[in-house]
Amino acid sequence: METMPTNFNPTKDGTTDPLSSIDTLALRALSLFQFKNYESASLEFSSPIVCFLGNNGEGKTNLLDAVHYLSFTKSYFHNSDALNILHEHDQAGITGEFLRAGNPELIHCAIRKNQRKVLKRNHKEYERLAEHIGLLPSIIITPYDIELIWEGSEVRRKFMDATISQYSPVYLDHLMRYNQALSQRNQVLKSYGKMGAPQELLDPWDYQLAFHALPIFEERTRFFVMLEEVFAQVYSEISGGKERGSLSYSTSLAEASMDDILKKNREKDRILERTTGGIHKDDLDFFIENQPIKKFASQGQQKSFLIALKLAQYMIIRGRSKVHPILLLDDLYDKVDDLRVSNLLDWILDKIKGQVFISDTHIDRIPDLLQSKKAAFQIYKIAQNTCLSHSTSIPHH
């Protein structure tokens, strides 16, 4: 199994970070066809920071989601591909021209109603979409992240899985197989219902679940150890060090093997007609000053916590996948005041050497802020589903 490289130290300042060994990644051009609210659009990017500015509902977030699509082969917001097709049409396309470690990567994703989605890398179709995950990593920070606090454990497992999958294809394979075995086992339980499924038919699936649960548990544990450390550091830096944020990872695999968990729950599983225990019940818990964040933190504190969590995710993926991920900052001023945004941008300009996309509803405040920090950036004004390149600012040093 992979271990953390010894020179990985995202918590120290840039000078000790071995950033020179990390590959560059940039999106140079993006074109959309009947994707979400865009009939068609094409954008070119020439700056490390790109701003999408315009009123709500004009399609800024959709541009960020298009980048997410090219990274993860799916939307951050909708599980169903069909929902990402422009209303009253039956197909959509997204094309991105990337430069990864200096090499061009042309990615094209075609979505059709009621048909298999097709993903091509340099004109060659992938046999399995999973093969693409991790090639062009990205991290999105959006107001919808609040789900991580408010929704059920599924959302937090998705966060863990989306992170680990970007640097470990082996993990992703175990995870997909575990989930498949889980669905099959639940189907056996359901089809026998009150009669109770015979153990003989459950055994093969129990064997598969146990086989895949262990490496998933081990990799999540390793990930959590990294996350805990990186998160504490980032949170303290962006919140001014006034309070302590922390996380915990809860999993039934810590006390018992998957085999034992399945054995213990046999009768319960038959009565409830589903698999009640296992790695698919893992969860993350969030705390500020050891108090559960869901109950005891203000909206502003929760937002800072989530930003730190996502930035920690960024640092971990960068350290493990050896490429600078693309950072997508959706609606940067959401629940964050001017001073915090300014501090956050300082932190990002200092620590993040990859491409950054920022969306905001105001035309001036982000450009003014970036100008005052002497950062190079590019602006697209977004209105009524059209994207107008406005200006590119290159600072004088």
| Interface contacts to another protein, rule CB under 8 A | 131, 169-170, 173, 177, 180-181, 183-185, 187-188, 191, 200-201, 203-205, 207-208
Dihedral sign (CA 253, 254, 259, 262): negative
CB of 186 to another protein, least distance (A): 8
Least distance in Å: CB of 216 to another protein? 14
Nearest to 243 by CA among 284, 285, 290: 290
Rounded Cα gap, residues 148 and 139, in angstroms:
15
Burial of 118 (0-12, 13-18, 19+ CB in 10 A): middle
Q: Output the smallest distance, CB 315 to another protein, in A.
A: 23
Nearer to another protein, 173 or 218 (CB): 173
- In the chain, the N- to C-terminal Cα span, in Å, equals 46
Q: Which is nearer to another protein, 60 or 222 (CB)?
A: 222
Is 205 or 377 the residue whose CB approaches another protein more closely? 205
User: What separation in angstroms does the CA of 92 have from each of 32, 37, 42, 357?
Assistant: 8, 11, 14, 22
Quick one: 50 or 133, whose CB is closer to another protein?
Answer: 133
CB of 323 to another protein, least distance (A): 16
CB of 207 to another protein, least distance (A): 5
* Least Cβ distance, residue 204 to another protein (angstroms): 4
Distance (Å, whole) CA 245 – CA 378: 34
CB of 32 or CB of 182, closer to another protein: 182
Instruction: Pick the closer one to another protein by CB: 173 or 229.
Output: 173
Are the beta carbons of 76 and 162 closer than 8 angstroms? Answer: no
d(C-alpha 69, C-alpha 81), whole Å: 10
